[in-house]
Structure 1
């Protein structure tokens, strides 16, 4: 049998399925998601333990006079909403990067010990240094998250790290650091009382100072994570295939760890560890976008704040005048939804 190219025989190869309609659908879905995010942000500002009419919300945002309603809108709910947007974006992107880095669709930012590192640093600051303010927690939590990430990467093999070794190293660091946290809390009742609220995960203490502190880290992490979409796509095909495609595995893994530390570290520092957002949302959007991280990450960055803000609004209204922390609500919502997603037969894979 002779091997003759289709060009020489005049044969016409089967056309590849058109990518343009699929790209347009994804882009349209992203625009719809942005609209949903805008509605969630508006609800976060307008809805709470005290309902405020929309005209007064507008007045408080753009015609501030300092009366009680304006103070609630501008000084309480607006910073809370902005922090929810930033933290949700950070957790969603961190989850997407983590799942790609470990090739594990069930991975979450806590897998790399980031939450544990932040918690260990905060409990140390409270117990041994007497730190009591949220603005003080932020820097210690971020430092602890960064140190934990570096430790996990070193134990996982540094530039020779593999997904399995990173996951194992993250689990080991997570267990060791939380063992330390629980030991300190048991020995210091003051640390236990102050850590109890932070470890649940909450937006209640948000203010513009905290927003300004964490925003630069989250924005840098956003840019870095989005820039890694293509090399992480190659990494998902396996190390040998990624090398054949020209991907630099060591550099990609280092930058992915840095992005995860910036995103999840800053988010955890500001609000405490919030469960299921970084796990569920990237997993959910993968069923919409397919395995392409160039689409997964923008979707996750938009829809994760939607989940966080809606959960925060629910927590504010279900137990008026008290409040249910957002970390509790995301767990109550995320658990059943995630179980449904992982049990679906036709679930998209990494």
Structure 2
């Protein structure tokens, strides 16, 4: 038994004297490894008689336990010493700027949507929404669009193969005008002042058209409404959006089934370093006109279809592409890039959610 006691004392002393984790590991392998001395003693227990095992087993087991505990304690002490030394030698400079890591941004379409909502809220408009999957009646018929109109053709509209329960064709809405119809028919009496922003769908794709794009439409229904009210509203809106007072509008006669009379709205621009800049007189020597809106007085047939008396109530409506407004204001030249998900493009044209809470921010902020 004295041999086991001497071995225990020697191993404990060697472990206590070890000064690196590698040396502790070497001692562990030499004592408790597959061919270690303690392991060898444990293997001899199998060949002993029960009486011998009862006598010699406990000292050998005690040896293994003592060595195991000593190694674990020494390893923990050396690791703590290494950590203390590292903490004593390393310092964090709290004056250095913090690395914020990857940052997201507000998409230009979302930013412009917020800007438009803010502008029209100041003008007394509320936001109205409706389903993107519409029926043929709300999307076309109620808006005085005849069955033979090209907009109803399959090559312009995304139709669903099945009819709804009422036997109507279902489609992806081609404009947000159905929201105007639903608002006028929801039982709320006029006056009505709403904008209807949202996604719309048409079968078209090139540098300035995509199958899905964003649109915002406005509707005013009240008594005594004239084209003068429409022109003032659009002029005030465009001045606020482009943040310029020298906005000049040109209204051209046009045709839309749901408005009568109808007008296309052009805004004047000037050429600066070869770039079109919104603002100024389009008839100037270095200027021109750019179509930005379609609008007009709400057709009597549309007002009647919504259950209102056109002799008592009049109104105007307008609509424009949100993506197109973003392109004009922030200098983008390809609508398809809006939906490519290119992080380089988003980093350049995106807006900080924290730094640009209003339309006073800017591109690439």
What range is the shorter-chain TM-score in?
under 0.3
Q: Which has the higher helix share?
A: 1
Greater strand share, structure number: 2
